[in-house]
Structure 1
Amino acid sequence: MSIAALVGSDQLTQDGDDDELLLSVSAFIEKEVGSDLKSLKKLGKLIEKMTEDKIKLEEQVLTISSEIPKRIQSALKDAEESKQVLNQFLEQEAPLFSSITSHLLTAQPWMDDLGAMITQIEEIEQHLTYLKWVSQIEELSDNIQQYLMTNNVPEAASILVTMTELDIKLQESSCTHLLSFLEFSRGLVMLILEKLASDIPCLLYDDNLFCHLVDEVLLFERELHSVHGYPSTFASCMHILSEETCFQRWLTVERKFALQKMDSMLSSEAVWVSQYKDITDVDEMKVPDCAEVFMTLLLVITDRYKNLPTAPRKLQFLELQKDLVDDFRIRLTQVMKEETRAPLDFRYCAILNAVNYISTVLADWADNVLQQAALEVFAENNALSKLQLGQLASMESSVFDDMINLLERLKLDMLTRQVDHVFREVKDAAKLYKKERWLSLPSQCEQAVMSLSSSACPLLLTLRDRLLQLEQQLCFSLFRVFWQMLVEKLDMYIYQEIILANHFNEGGAAQLQFDMTRNLFPLFSHYCKRPENYFKHVKEACIILNLNIGSALLLKDVLQSASEHLSATAALNEVGIYKLAQQDVEILLNLRTNWPNTGK
């Protein structure tokens, strides 16, 4: 009989939960006891075990039943506290959120500006990195050029190796489209070169068409290199213009049109007026319009040929410019000779200003493409020694030195004419002053107030008028040279023709000193701080003539008894004499008539 039959049929009809329990119990008994009746003896032990398990479970249930409420109560308490803290946080969150939102709104423009600035900085850093590479390449190139000029081939080769290594580093580029674009540009340029090669022979002997062609080629070259980044190492239209037949024709046309421009320019009266005459700050050099137009013409020619591919071609243009400068100098000289009878007139001064301006600009051009072209040609042809190349490279000499020397000679000649003309006028005005009776003039104590000699007025008025006239017509540097040259002649004239040609009593010496120090010297105080230093002979002669009797006698004795030159020099220096020689001072002392009756 099975265990299931013993349980009873009424227990097998309970609800689902009881059925599952019964089935579990039945399965457990079936497993532990089985269908063997002999196994029923195990039921006692099984019941005992189950009883023990029941007791343990009841104990655990009792224990848990007593601890869970405490834990639940503690958890509820913690939850309540957490809720209170959370409420506090929520109360603080609202104003904090409002404050943060307000701060973000306030800071947003700053953040936008800062973001834009950071973007600019990053872009500038990229540009700076690029420029550093370019600067490094330029520095290496300059060093190679310098070593080649001085024939130092080993050093040049060493730097070339460095540049090659740098080039290898820069070969890898992600900008492959640029290489494709440049190759495309080079292909187009090659087509243009073929077209030019076929068209130029037909245009060589038509000046207008040929000039138009050259202008278009130059504009195209400038745009190709500056706008599209076309490398100078690629073939260009300048190579066509550099071919012998075309180049010689270009030179001829440039010379022809430049000479025509000079002819038309010098035929107008307005070219001698500065276009900036009403603007003082700009018109410091008082440059006439003809000089400015001429130098602009030279600059335009330079701009047209500076991109020629070879230095010898540039040098040929340089020779053309030198010829034009010399031609313009000759034309200015011819106009100047027509004005030599009136060297103070406006046109003569304008010519002088033009010569000075051209000379100054040519001296400033020593460091440009003209100088570099000459250096390159000389280096290629070994025409100069290493020392001469070094001097040219260090700008101790200029390719325009010959022209500058001729212009400086012309400038000095014109200034000398002006100085001589003014000096003649001053001498004519000084005739009465020269005949002044210096022996019979009253002493200073006999006069209430010292006043200018009436015979000196024509001299000073003439001098003042000419200084004012030339200050307005000459540029500052020329006028400075003019008045210094005039002062040098005037100083010697007054010293030799007035002072040494007369004798002076006490009143005559005092009057001479008053005329010089209070009237003549101040005429030049506007041009220098201490004008008396330019009248050294006159100033020191006045000192000697106005020494008091005791000092004059003592000085005369020292000069007569001095056995050594040093002692005489020291005595002269003590009274302020540095320019005049001992013999000159002795002559001046003998011109004094107010000696004591002792005869000394």
Structure 2
Amino acid sequence: MAALSAAEQTVDTEHFSESMHSLSSDAEAFPADSAEQHDFVVDFIEKEVGSDLKSLKNVSNLLKKLTDENNVLEEQVLTVSSSVPPKVSAALSAAEEARCSLEELLKKERLISNMLHQHLQGAQPWMDNLGQILNQVDHIERHMEYLRCLQHIEELSAAVQQCLMTSSVWEAIRAVDSMAALDTGLSQSACSHLQDFLRETLHFWHKIIKDRLTIDFEKVLTQLHWPIISPPTQSLTPTASSPEISSQLELLVTQLLALQTSDDLLSQKDLASGKGGPSAQTVSLATPTSLAPPLCLPIQIMLLPLSKRFRYHFFGNRQTNTPNKPEWYLTQALMWMGNSTTFMEEKIQPILDRAGADISARVELCRGLLSLVQEKVASDASRLLYDDALFSHLVEEVLQFEKELRSNHSYPAALPGLLHLLLEDAVLQKWLTVERKMAVEKMDAMLSAEGAWSSQYKDISDMDELKAPDCAETFMTLLQVITERYRALPCPSAQLKFLGLQRELVDDFRIRLTQVMKEESRCPLGARYCAILNAVNYISTILSDWGDNVFFLQLQQAAVSLGDDVVLRDLGVLELGRLASLEGSLFEGLLALLDRLKGDMLGRLLEWTMREVIEKARPYGQDRWLSLPSQHDLSTMTLSSSACPMMLCVRDRLLHLHQSLSLSLFQLAWQGLADRLNKFLYQDVRRENPQKHCLCFYDLSPTSLNV
């Protein structure tokens, strides 16, 4: 049996080897699938047989298992294959039926298409004839509509004429309003001749009604002593005919308000077509249209005598029209506003309120007068661009006018004043140039003045904490005045340009202080050197306060949001982030330069002081300390006589610094001096002679000079 088993095992082994050889041959015969099949077979043999030769006896069982699985798969394939032909046959039959149906449908579609084409060809003449008839009907309808519109215009025109003949002003105004509404409705029409005819008719009747109401209104105003040129000497007391005049005034104001719609429409049309006249165009360019609604019609009429006076005095060849006296016409406009306030509030405003008009009579009058001033300022500003003195004077007067207009006359901030005229590119650039030029001239003057380095508050201790020299205080006052001038500008980008100018001036002044400091560096303890140090500290303190000011914080946010190149140039992402989060300030760069200059000057001052102290300390360092009595033998601690000159020098210099420097600088100075003196005594003096260790305990303790 053992021999038989061995023989069987040999046979199985040989059979297995032949199978593997066969698999290898198959893999070579089918290279496309050989890689995957070969790997699969190798993995399978490795899993089932392994590397143990004794396990080859299981090959027969494995072969039988695989044979059975193969037979099962063949039966399944045969079963499926036997059921496939009937299904395929049924599918082919269905496809054939569908093809036949599709051919039938295509035949019907071609037949119907041919019939439809023949029908359309037969109906085409009818369609052409019908289209011509419809075009004729449409053409006739448009002509009829055109004629109806023309007839309506004629009817409205006749109605206005009839109403004016019978003095029915209200009916005439309603007819004119109907014309205005019709004109608005035809704004998108291509009938230009009809539009022109309607507009001319509207303008004709509107002018007649407006002129008639204007004449009556001016008569009533004359009876009420309008215009009020000078300050009223007495209140507006009612006259004998006051009730009648008041009723006439109210009637005329109400009728003029009713005529406002057509007046605004015609004004817009004239302005769009360039027929508004040069003055109207100048005002329209000087005033932002988005912020300037049309003036109330009654106020326009009330402004006529004032406008005539203003143009007579300040636009003609009169002596009052002089470029070096802009305050004349600016003051005149403010006086008229103030003088007319009572009349507008007592006489006109109640009528507007009863008519339901949401209008302030006083503000409307100010707007009308302001339009005249805007026209005059715009004209003068363009003519004075090449005269620095006159241009600077004009800017000063305009700023003062704007301030009084907003404060004394309560002119709304939402309405434009005169400042927007200064924002025009050429005017703004000229303003910046003049501001820079005048500031530089003033800096030269203040630095060369006789009392430039003395404080005007030196005799008042309570007001002289910073001990700022007169030149530094004058310079910061100059910057503050510049700030007040551009603070009210309505444009943040323009404000940022002035801020950039201020930063340039501060840096220029710092450079000038540095130059003067280098000239005075030979004597750091001199009065001028200390004054320069106080000036640097004063400017740094003021700029730090400005960094926390609400106005400059708002400018900081505006600079970040606008990405202003003038203010934010050379700043990295980190610095921009600090500005956006309000952690930094717009003056950080200048403060760093000023602090560096302050530190250098203070260090040079302390070094100079220590030289004197060290010179006075030489006898003290040469004492024979071993010959001195022990501190235990002394009843009281005393100062060595050789140390007295040194300590007197320290005292005198500290007193001098206290009198010359501001409190904050003196704090830094005496702390720095004490630190240097400590190092000198406990390091330098002891290092020169090791026997002087008792110095620390004989004259001074280490803590006596600590601060």
Are 2:417 and 1:233 aligned?
no
| Aligned residue runs from structure 1 range 364-403, under 5 A | 364-366=545-547, 367-381=549-563, 391-392=578-579, 395-403=582-590
After superposition, give the CA deviation of every residue in 1:569-597 in whole Å (9 maximum; x if it has no partner).
Answer: xxxxxxxxxxxxxxxxxxxxxxxxxxxxx
Aligned to 1:359: 540
**Map of 2:251 onto structure 1:** none
Structure 2 Cα separation of the partners of residues 264 and 368 of structure 1: 32
Unpaired segments ≥5 residues, structure 2:
1-352
1:423 to 595, 602, 610: 610
Q: Hey, what does 2:426 align to over in structure 1? A: 245
Which residue of 2 is the match for residue 184 of structure 1? 365
Q: Work out the CA distance in 2 between the residues paired with 1:237 and 1:412.
A: 46
> Which residue of 1 is the match for residue 495 of structure 2?
314
Alpha-carbon distance change, 208 to 459 in structure 1, aligned in 2, over 3 angstroms = same
Instruction: State the SS of the aligned residue for 1:285.
Output: coil
Partner of 1:516: 700
Name the CA distance, whole Å, in 1 between partners of 2:704 and 2:403.
Answer: 55
> Matches of 2:603 and 2:473 in 1, distance apart?
24
Structure 1 match to 2:599:
412
Mapped contact 1:375–1:389 kept (Cα < 8 A): no
1:504 deviates by: 4.1
CA distance in 2, matches of 1:369, 1:483: 37
Report SS of the residue matched to 2:688: coil
Matched residue, 2:526: 345
Match of 1:576 in 2: none
The 5-angstrom pairing of residues 492-531 of structure 1 reads 492-504=679-691, 509=694, 512-517=696-701
Q: Equivalences for 1:239-278 in 2 at 5 Å?
A: 239-278=420-459
Q: 1:239–1:382: structure 2 CA closer, same or farther, 3 Å change rule?
A: closer
Mark the CA change 1:390 to 1:450 in structure 2 (over 3 Å): closer, same or farther: closer
Q: Which residue of 1 aligns with 2:375?
A: 194
Q: Over residues 355-378 of structure 1, what are the superposed CA-to-partner deviations in whole Å (9 max), with x where a residue is unaligned?
A: 000000001001242332232132
Cα gap change, 1:386 to 1:234, in 2 (>3 Å): farther
Q: Check conservation: 1:218, 1:304, Cα contact below 8 A.
A: yes
Q: 1:488-523 CA distances to partner (integer Å, 9 max, x unpaired)?
A: 121111121122433348xx72x5424114xxx8xx
Matched, 1:454 2:641: yes
Q: In structure 1, what is the equivalent of residue 505 of structure 2?
A: 324
- Cα distance change, pair 531–218 in 1 and its aligned pair in 2 (3 A): farther
Match of 2:662 in 1: 475
Q: Distance in 1 between matches of 2:653 and 2:509?
A: 29
Tell me the TM-score normalized by structure 2.
0.47
Task: Specify which of 181, 206, 209 is matched with residue 387 of structure 2.
Answer: 206
Task: Name the larger-Rg structure.
Answer: 1
CA displacement 1:538-578 (0-9 Å, x = unmatched): xxxxxxxxxxxxxxxxxxxxxxxxxxxxxxxxxxxxxxxxx
Separation in structure 2 between the aligned mates of residue 514 and residue 270 of structure 1, nearest angstrom: 48
Q: Give 1:450 deviation, angstroms.
A: 4.1
Q: Could you tell me how far 1:396 is from its partner in structure 2? A: 1.6
Partners of 2:471 and 2:545 in 1: how far apart? Answer: 19
Q: What displacement does 1:395 show? A: 3.5
2:461 aligned counterpart, secondary structure: coil
TM-score, normalised relative to structure 1: 0.55
Partner residue of 1:303 out of 463, 467, 484:
484
Number of the residue aligned with 2:517: 336
Instruction: Determine if contact 1:438/1:503 at 8 Å carries over to the other structure.
Output: no
Q: Aligned partners of 1:178, 1:388: CA distance in 2, in Å?
A: 49
Per the alignment, residue 218 of structure 1 pairs with 399
- Structure 2 vs 1, CA of residues 409 and 315 (structure 1 numbering), >3 Å: closer, same or farther? same
Secondary structure, aligned partner of 1:272 = coil
The two structures, once aligned, show a CA RMSD in angstroms of: 2.6
SS, match of residue 451 in structure 2: helix
What one-letter code is carried by the residue in structure 2 that aligns with 1:331?
R
C-alpha change, 1:456 and 1:225, in structure 2 (3 Å) is same
SS in 1 for 2:371: helix
CA shift at 1:448, angstroms?
Answer: 5.5
Question: What is the Cα deviation at residue 179 of structure 1?
Answer: 2.1
Cα–Cα, structure 1 residues 532 and 337, in superposed 2: closer, same or farther, change >3 Å? closer
Structure 2 match to 1:432: 619
Find the aligned partners of 2:449 and 2:516 in 1 and give their Cα distance: 12
Q: 1:293 aligns with which of 474, 490, 501?
A: 474
Partner SS, residue 516 of structure 1: coil
- Cα deviation, residue 196, structure 1: 1.8
Specify the alignment match of 1:139 in structure 2: none
Aligned partners of 1:283, 1:176: CA distance in 2, in Å?
Answer: 59
Displacement of 1:447 after TM fit?
Answer: 4.3
Distance 1:195 1:502, change over 3 A: same
Q: Count how many residue pairs are aligned between Structure 1 and Structure 2.
A: 349
Task: Pick from 611, 625, 628 the counterpart of residue 441 of structure 1.
Answer: 628
CA offsets, 1:434-485, max 9 Å, x none? 1222233222344465421121111111111101111100011001101111
Partner of 2:6: none
| 2-structure distance, mates of 1:361, 1:412 | 17
**Is the contact between residue 446 and residue 471 of structure 2 (CA under 8 Å) also seen in structure 1?**
yes
Q: 1:491 to 1:273 in 2, by over 3 A?
A: same
Deviation at 1:253, TM superposition (A): 0.6
> Where do 1:90-109 residues align within 5 Å?
none
What is the one-letter code of the residue matched to 2:638?
Answer: S
Residues 364 and 382 from structure 1, CA distance in 2 versus in 1: closer, same or farther, beyond 3 angstroms? closer
For 1:176 and 1:386, locate their aligned partners in 2 and report how far apart those are by CA, in whole Å: 54
The alpha carbon displacement at 1:409 in A equals 0.6
Q: Give the Cα separation in 1 of the matches to 2:609 and 2:503.
A: 34
